[in-house]
Structures are given as C-alpha cells and as structure tokens.
Chains A and B, each alone.
Chain A
Amino acid sequence: MQKQEPLLSVRELSVAFKMRDCVLTAVDGVSFDLDRSQRLGLVGESGAGKSVTGFAIINLVSRPGYISGGQVFFEGRDLATFSEEEMRNIRGNRISMIFQDPMMTLNPVLTIGQQMIETLKAHRHISKHEAEKLALSKLQKVAIPSPEKRLTQYPHEFSGGMRQRIVIAIALLTSPSLIIADEPTTALDVTIQADIMELLLKLCEEEEMALLLITHDLAVVSQVAERIAVMYAGRIAELGSTEAIVNTPQHPYTQGLLKALPQKVERRKRLNQIPGNMPSLQERPPGCAFYDRCELRGEICHREIPRLEEKNGGLVACHMVKDAAGKEEK
C-alpha cells in the first residue's frame, strides 16, 4: 500500500526580509514533512528562523518579510494557491497556533468566553449557546476548574499557567488537525512548564492532532516530539527521530547542543558550550554556516553549502559526516 500523503509538507521554503538596501534570507530552503497526529520538534537557537518558519506555514510573515521561495502543502494542497479568504479559513480552523507569552496573546478587554465564542463564530455557523457549550468542554479538557465561572472572567484574573491553558483551549476549539506551538512554555516557570507540555502531549494524542513544536529547549522537545529537526542559521542541520537525535547525534552542531545541556556534573566544572555565535543574517558565509564554530570542519565546508542528505538513517546537512550504511551496501 502506498504511504499516506503527509498532513503538512514543507518544500524548500525560504523567507526573506526586504531591508532598505539589502534582502536578508531568514529561512533558506527548509523542507520537512509532518504526518497526521505526528509530533515534530523544531529546535534551534534565537534567530535560527524557527518562528519565521512557523508563521510562513500559515502565510502570515509580517512585513517587511515575505515568502521568497518554496511551497507549503497542507492536506495535499499548495497553500500559496489559496485566496486570502480560504487562507483565513485554514488559520485557527485547520491549523492553530500557540504563542510564547500568554500574558500578551489574550485581549485584555474581552472576557475569555467572548474570545472563545468569537473564534468559533469566525469559522462555524453556530449558535451562541452551542459555542458556549463547546467552549466549556474545551476548558474542561485543559483542566480549568469551574469553567462556567471562568468564561465570564477577563485575562488579568488568571495566572500565567492558567492563561496558557486557555490559549491552548482556544487553539483546540475548532478541532484543528495541526497545532503550531511557538515556544509555548518559555514564559512559564519550570514546574508549570512540565504540566503544560504534558497537557499538550495528552491532547495531541486524544484529539489526533499533529504538533509542530518550536522551541530552543532540547529537553522539552525530546519529551514530546517523535521527530526533531535542528535548525541553524535558517537551514535544517539535522532531522531524525528523537531517539537518534538525542542518542546518536550526527551533525557537529547537534552534538554541541546536547553537550551544552546542563547535567549532573562535578561542582565548579563549567558547562560545555559551543564557542562563538551564530552568524547574523548579514554575514552568512558562502559555505557551511556552522564553519566558524565547527570542530570537524574541512576545506570543502568553507566553499560549499552542505545539502540535507540521508546518512545513517537520519537526514544530516554536513560534509564531514560519513554514511556508514551506504558504504557497507557498496
């Protein structure tokens, strides 16, 4: 039987920002697939282009940015061919997005109920009463106590963790098939982080939703995601199953990231870190973007941008990683 077509398929997606005297490429030829009810983690440091990729998927890159190349297929259809009207029907209906700071993403002058009902009414022909009932059931799903009372309250009456639960409930309202979560737990404190991640994981499994989790936190992503894509300077450096990425990372950047995670170490020992910084958008080198910080770098790395290729069962964009399996076959 033929493999089912993926829910979301991103092909060579590029996003550029048009500045006064130059064009900066923030996302450069990113490709990945996401199957139904699968969870993919998009990891990378600040400025790697993770969030921009997220926004590009729903075609909401804000000016002066624009999608400069590639395609996004959702349920087999190219989103670029959609009209603004059709696109609006995808956003918040088939694809929902959750943002980093729940303090900011809820409108301070509307009650939770109003905001939830409004979302539903934008996508469904539904009576106010039905919408309210649906909103209540979703609030229960995200474990908000006494939801009837909560519906009439304003965002400032909730704590940070509660607000993020509400944001998740709003994202769930229309039973989307994909949720893009952009650093959903970064603004929360650690104990609540774990709760929210667990909740998100549980909901994805129950509602059979796919999840694109954008984060800089490898620990968080390895708990939740089935596959991980590591982004560096606008490109995917490595993509593979969570196990493979965590246990046998191939790309030197991924290896560096994992080493840099705080672990139980002797006192006074400094944490490992990757020397240097990610090159800024203006000064991308002609070859591999990781060249300056890489331990394995060779002469070719300086000249040629490595392509994302299948090596040892995962996808890696590095000239220096050798494909052991491929050699054996020959």
Chain B
Amino acid sequence: MRFFKKITGSNLFYNFLRDPMAIGSATVLLFLIVASFGAPLFAPHNPYDQTTIDIMDAELPPIWTGAADADSRFLLGTDPQGRGMLSTMLYGMRVSVLIGVGAVVLQSLIGIIIGLIAGYKGGRLEALLMRLADVQLSFSTYMVAIFISAVFQGIFGMGVYSDYALGLLILVIGFAEWPQYARTVRASVMAEKNKEYVEAARVIGLPQWRIMFRHILPNTMTPVLVISTVQVANAIMSEAALSFIGLGMPPSQPSLGSLIKSGFDYIASGSWWISLFPGIALVVLILSINLLGDWLRDYLNPKLYKD
C-alpha cells in the first residue's frame, strides 16, 4: 500500500497522467501483455494441445468474411495446421514478449557489469573490454543469431532445437546486443566516478565492488532505463525476423514471427489472415513499447539519444 502510494505520488506518475500518448500506449501495452500472459485463461483453445487440433479446420477464414467455410469457433480464422488464429496469436505473443524481455535482461546484465567495471577501473582493462564490445558490435545481431542457430540446428537436429529454441533465442539475442549497455553504462560511470560522493565512499573505507554497485550504479540507471525500452522492442523484432527466416521459434511453438512466416506461403492463395493478424499484433506491440519509451526518455531527459 505504501509502495503504491509512493508511485502515485511521484512526479513520474503525475507526468504520465498528463500525456495522452503515454496513457494510450501504456493501456495498449498492458492489454496486450495481460492478454498474452493470460492466454491459457482467455484463449478459446490451447494451440499446443495436439488433440484439439483438426487438420480439417486448416485455413478457415475469419467469421465476419461471411465465407461459406467460416467456422464460428474461430473468430480470426485458422492457420495452415488448423489452429485458431486468435489463440495461437495470444500464445505466440507470450513467446515473443518472453524472448524480448529475457534477452534484454541478459543484455543488461552482461552490459552493465562490463560497462561498470570498464568505467570504474579504467586503464588497460577498460581498453580491452571496450574493444571487445566494438568487435561484438561490428557483427550484426542477425549474423550472430543466424550463425549460432544454424550451427545448433545442424549439430543437434531440429527435434532438440525445438525443445531449446526459447532459451537459445534469448541467449543469442541477449549476447549479440550487450555492447549497447556496456557503452552507455561506461559513459555514465566515467561521469559519476569523479563526483565527490564516490570519493567520500572511498574515504569511508567501503570496498570497491560496493562503491561500484551500490553507489555508482543507481546513479547511472536513467539512460539504462531508456535504452531498455528500445532494446525490448528491438529484441522482439530480432526474434520475429529470425523466426521469419526459419531460424527462430519452431512451428509447434509459434511466436508472432513464425506465425507470419507460416502464413506467408498462403498469402498468394488468398489466405491473407494468417500473416496479417500476427503482423498487426507485432506492429502494435512494438509501437506501444517504443512510444512509451519515447515518453520515458522525454521525461527523464537523459544525455543519451539512441537512434
């Protein structure tokens, strides 16, 4: 209750209530997240449950089209395997959000620790770590991801890959993007470490790691928060792109990206809904995250502006 009061009394919340764009995007995002994580509750049926799927239901159009073969059980039609689009999308969005958030947690964990150490210690260690970040950045995310996913699929086969796809994607996307965090955090740490409270902490006799993590780190969180919003959106996009080229989530556990892909082959034959609805969901999800991130950036007004 006290925590709740602290939030509602804050400047952040005040500012939030006065920005219709922020309220709008937050509402949409909240709706999408609740719908996707509550999928087992809300979805008309479970697309992972093989017994409820009938291949005879494949490629049914949405009901409102009035087509003869539209089925009242499937509001948005069905995909090529006979799963209801609505249910599959809800479950798929859950996978997408999970991968996005998971990858960002991993990225920030690696990036913050490396950036903090590099910025605080300085000298050769800093040079080494930041060159490492440069090398990592010089490989595009997709290249790293394609490489690792392809090697993994090649070695262990598609069956094993399907079981570990979620974790592997989080790992791959998370690992490919850590330098973004490392650079941002390092820059802030370098500005913070010369401030007097850091000197005072050293004079008090606090151990180095404590000065780094407890004193400097919280003071560098503003830009980290802002790039996190952008990075979640990026990670979801990366996953969708990987799935679209067949190196992401397998069809048995579809994400938004693999749903778009599975419908792509049928667009020309008239089954437009299979790609369209997941596509819209993806756009709305990414847009609401980005708009919210924009608002947050404007509110916090950090020194950092990421493209």
Residues on A facing B (Cβ under 8 Å): 58, 60, 62, 88-93, 96-97, 99, 101, 104-110, 118-119, 122-123, 167, 170
Q: In the complex, are the beta carbons of A91 and B197 less than 8 A apart?
A: no
Closest chain A CB from B96 CB (angstroms)? 33
Q: List 19 A-B contacts (CB under 8 A).
A: A58-B203, A60-B203, A91-B203, A91-B204, A92-B203, A93-B205, A96-B203, A97-B203, A99-B196, A99-B200, A101-B196, A104-B197, A106-B200, A107-B201, A109-B219, A118-B210, A122-B204, A122-B205, A122-B207
- Distance in angstroms between the alpha carbons of A101 and B196 in the assembled complex: 8
In the assembled complex, which residues on chain B have CB atoms less than 8 Å from the CB atom of A104? 195-197
In the assembled complex, which residues on chain B have CB atoms less than 8 Å from the CB atom of A99? 196, 199-200, 203
Closest chain A CB from B261 CB (angstroms)? 45
- Distance in angstroms between the alpha carbons of A93 and B207 in the assembled complex: 13
In the assembled complex, which residues on chain B have CB atoms less than 8 Å from the CB atom of A91? 202-205
B160 interface contact, C-beta 8 A: no
Q: In the complex, are the beta carbons of A118 and B205 less than 8 A apart?
A: no
Q: In the complex, are the beta carbons of A89 and B197 less than 8 A apart?
A: no
- Distance in angstroms between the alpha carbons of A62 and B205 in the assembled complex: 15
Q: Which of B191-218 contact A (CB under 8 A)?
A: 195-197, 199-207, 210, 214-215, 218
Partner of B197, one of A88, A92, A105: A105
In the assembled complex, which residues on chain B have CB atoms less than 8 Å from the CB atom of A167? 200
Partner of B219, one of A62, A105, A108: A108
Partner of B207, one of A60, A62, A88: A88
- Distance in angstroms between the alpha carbons of A97 and B196 in the assembled complex: 12
- Distance in angstroms between the alpha carbons of A128 and B47 in the assembled complex: 51
- Distance in angstroms between the alpha carbons of A257 and B203 in the assembled complex: 31
Q: In the complex, are the beta carbons of B199 and A89 less than 8 A apart?
A: no
In the assembled complex, which residues on chain A have CB atoms less than 8 Å from the CB atom of B200? 97, 99, 105-106, 167
- Distance in angstroms between the alpha carbons of A96 and B214 in the assembled complex: 20
Q: In the complex, are the beta carbons of A88 and B205 less than 8 A apart?
A: yes
- Distance in angstroms between the alpha carbons of A167 and B201 in the assembled complex: 11
Q: Which of A96, A105, A110 has the most CB of B within 10 A?
A: A105
Closest chain B CB from A197 CB (angstroms)? 20
In the assembled complex, which residues on chain A have CB atoms less than 8 Å from the CB atom of B214? 110, 118
Q: Which residue of B lies closest to A100 (CB)?
A: B196
In the assembled complex, which residues on chain A have CB atoms less than 8 Å from the CB atom of B215? 107, 110
In the assembled complex, which residues on chain B have CB atoms less than 8 Å from the CB atom of A105? 196-197, 199-200
- Distance in angstroms between the alpha carbons of A70 and B219 in the assembled complex: 38
Closest chain A CB from B252 CB (angstroms)? 46
In the assembled complex, which residues on chain A have CB atoms less than 8 Å from the CB atom of B210? 118, 122
- Distance in angstroms between the alpha carbons of A96 and B199 in the assembled complex: 13
- Distance in angstroms between the alpha carbons of A315 and B196 in the assembled complex: 35
A-B pairs, top 8 by smallest CB distance, nearest first, are A92-B205, A92-B204, A104-B196, A91-B205, A105-B200, A109-B218, A88-B205, A97-B203
Q: In the complex, are the beta carbons of A107 and B205 less than 8 A apart?
A: no
Known: A118-B214, A122-B210. A107 touches B203 (CB 8 A): no
Closest chain B CB from A85 CB (angstroms)? 9
In the assembled complex, which residues on chain A have CB atoms less than 8 Å from the CB atom of B207? 88, 122
Partner of B204, one of A101, A108, A119: A119
Closest chain B CB from A125 CB (angstroms)? 15
Q: Which residue of A lies closest to B196 (CB)?
A: A104
In the assembled complex, which residues on chain B have CB atoms less than 8 Å from the CB atom of A122? 204-207, 210
